[in-house]
A and B are shown apart, each in its own frame.
Chain A
Amino acid sequence: MTITTSNKVSSLDTGAETETSPQSTNVQDTVVVANDTTTASATSAKTDVTPPQTVDRFAPLEDLIRKATNVIFLPGLTFLFVIAIWSGIQHTIAPDLPTPVETWGKAMEIFGDPFYEYGPNDMGIGWQVMYSVGRVLAGFLLASLVGVPVGFLIGMSDTFSRAWNPLIKILRPVSPLAWLPIGLLIFKAVDPSAIFVIFITSIWPVIINTAAGVRNIPSDYMNVAQVLKLSQLEIARKILLPATLPHILTGMQLSLSTAWMVIVAAEMLTGGIGIGFYIWDEWNNLSVTSIIVAIVVIGLVGIALEAGMNLLQKRLSYQS
Chain B
Amino acid sequence: MKNDYLLISAVDMAFETGGSEPFVALKDVNLSIDKGEVISIIGHSGCGKSTVMNIVGGLLQATKGGVILEGKEVNTPGPDRAIVFQNHSLLPWLTVYENIALAVNKVFRKSKSKAERDQWIRHNLNLVRMDHAADKYPNEISGGMKQRVGIARALAMEPKVLLMDEPFGALDALTRAHLQDSLMEIQKDLGNTIIMITHDVDEAVLLSDRIVMMTNGPAATIGEVLKIDLERPRLRLELADDPQYNHYRAEVLKFLHDRHALPSAA
Q: Which residues of A contact B (CB under 8 A)?
A: 1-3, 5, 11, 14-15, 17-19, 26-29, 31, 33, 218, 220-221, 223-224, 226-230, 234, 238-239, 242-243, 245, 318-320
Q: In whole angstroms, how far apart are the Cα atoms of A12 and B86 in the complex?
A: 29
Q: In whole angstroms, how far apart are the Cα atoms of A11 and B125 in the complex?
A: 9
- Which A residues touch B131, using CB under 8 A? 5, 11, 14-15
Say whether A29 contacts B144, CB under 8 Å.
yes
- Which A residues touch B91, using CB under 8 A? 221, 224, 239, 242-243
Say whether B142 contacts A1, CB under 8 Å.
yes
- Which B residues touch A224, using CB under 8 A? 85, 89, 91
Say whether A318 contacts B140, CB under 8 Å.
no
Say whether A27 contacts B57, CB under 8 Å.
no
Q: In whole angstroms, how far apart are the Cα atoms of A111 and B122 in the complex?
A: 59
Known contacts A223-B83, A227-B78; is A242 also within 8 Å of B93 by CB?
yes
Say whether B132 contacts A5, CB under 8 Å.
yes
- Which A residues touch B92, using CB under 8 A? 318-320
Asked if B79 is at the interface (CB within 8 A of a chain A CB), the reply is: yes
Q: In whole angstroms, how far apart are the Cα atoms of A224 and B59 in the complex?
A: 10
Seed contacts A221-B89, A227-B79, A242-B93; 8 additional CB < 8 Å A-B pairs: A15-B135, A18-B133, A33-B132, A221-B91, A223-B77, A227-B59, A228-B107, A234-B106
Within 8 A of A (CB), among B64-121: 77-79, 81-83, 85, 87, 89, 91-94, 102-103, 106-107
- Which B residues touch A243, using CB under 8 A? 91, 93
Q: In whole angstroms, how far apart are the Cα atoms of A280 and B103 in the complex?
A: 60
Instruction: Output the residue of B92, B129, B179 with the most chain A CB within 10 A.
Output: B92
Say whether B145 contacts A229, CB under 8 Å.
no
- Which B residues touch A234, using CB under 8 A? 106
Shortest beta-carbon distance, A274 to chain B, in Å? 39
Say whether B103 contacts A228, CB under 8 Å.
yes
- Which A residues touch B175, using CB under 8 A? 1, 29
Q: Which residues of B contact A (CB under 8 A)?
A: 57-59, 77-79, 81-83, 85, 87, 89, 91-94, 102-103, 106-107, 122, 125-126, 129, 131-135, 137, 139-142, 144-145, 157, 174-175, 178-179
- Which B residues touch A15, using CB under 8 A? 131-135
Shortest beta-carbon distance, A248 to chain B, in Å? 13
Known contacts A218-B89, A227-B83; is A11 also within 8 Å of B139 by CB?
no
The residue in chain B whose Cβ has the minimal distance to the Cβ of A11 is B131
Which of the residues A1, A226, A229, A230 comes within 8 Å of B179, measured between beta carbons? A1
Which of the residues B77, B83, B132 comes within 8 Å of A11, measured between beta carbons? B132
- Which B residues touch A2, using CB under 8 A? 178
Say whether B106 contacts A11, CB under 8 Å.
no
- Which A residues touch B178, using CB under 8 A? 1-2
Shortest beta-carbon distance, A233 to chain B, in Å? 13
- Which A residues touch B81, using CB under 8 A? 227
